[in-house]
């Protein structure tokens, strides 16, 4: 992910430099705002990829001498189901309707949207990483469970 982080850092630097030059020379606030938003989005992706690289290290794809078998095994955790995308979509719909019908509906939608986004972000925050399951030693009480069939 180091290569991807550097790529998006370059994209963010390009949009930042373009916004820095375009804004004062053109006087166009809409174009300047678009370039600033593009810079912020690319910087966010670059930051995420940099953090993932520091957290997980080099991938097999990043090593020149790696074999195909080095990348084998479970890749990521995929959640089976989640109610939070529906809550997020409902909050976005309410907030969008609030733009048309009034501030009260927008605020309700913003609250539902915030709850949905936080639910998506933190629904698996306490999940243990792979291989960090139950300890192999005795339990906290000092005894092991009896094998099945023996009572």
Helix axes 2-26, 29-56, angle to 10 degrees: 160
Q: Out of 29-38, 96-105, 123-132, pick the least confident.
A: 123-132
Q: Which residue has tokens 């189901």?
A: 81
147 vs 56, residue with greater confidence: 56
State residue 142's pLDDT score: 47
- The residues near 66 (Cβ < 8 Å, ≥ 6 apart) are 60
State residue 61's pLDDT score: 76
State residue 39's pLDDT score: 97
The answer to whether the beta carbons of residues 39 and 19 sit under 8 Å apart is: yes
pLDDT tens column, 46-100: 999 998 888 877 777 777 887 877 777 776 777 778 899 999 999 999 999 999 9
Mean per-residue pLDDT of the chain: 83
Quickly state the pLDDT bin for 151 (edges 50, 70, 90). very low
135 vs 79, residue with greater confidence: 79
State phi, psi for 119 to the nearest 5 degrees. Answer: -65, -40
Q: Report how far residue 113's alpha carbon sits from residue 87's, in angstroms, rounded to the nearest whole number.
A: 7
State residue 97's pLDDT score: 96
Is the pLDDT confidence value at 114 over 90? yes
Q: Report how far residue 118's alpha carbon sits from residue 134's, in angstroms, rounded to the nearest whole number.
A: 28
The answer to whether the beta carbons of residues 70 and 59 sit under 8 Å apart is: no
Mean pLDDT of 121-148: 59
């Amino acid at each position: 992910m180091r290569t991807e982080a550097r790529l998006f850092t370059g994209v963010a630097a390009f949009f930042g430099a373009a916004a820095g030059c375009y804004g004062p020379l053109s006087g166009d606030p809409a174009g300047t705002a678009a370039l600033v938003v593009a810079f912020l989005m690319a910087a966010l992706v670059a930051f995420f990829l940099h953090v993932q690289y520091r957290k997980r290290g080099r991938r097999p794809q990043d090593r020149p001498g790696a074999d195909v078998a080095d990348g084998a095994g479970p890749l990521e955790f995929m959640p089976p189901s989640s109610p939070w995308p529906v809550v997020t979509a409902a909050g976005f719909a309410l907030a969008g309707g609030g733009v048309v019908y009034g501030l009260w509906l927008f605020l309700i939608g913003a609250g539902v949207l915030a709850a949905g986004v936080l639910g998506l972000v933190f629904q698996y925050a306490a999940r243990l990483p792979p291989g960090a399951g139950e300890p192999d030693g005795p339990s906290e009480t000092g005894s092991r469970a009896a094998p099945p069939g023996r009572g």
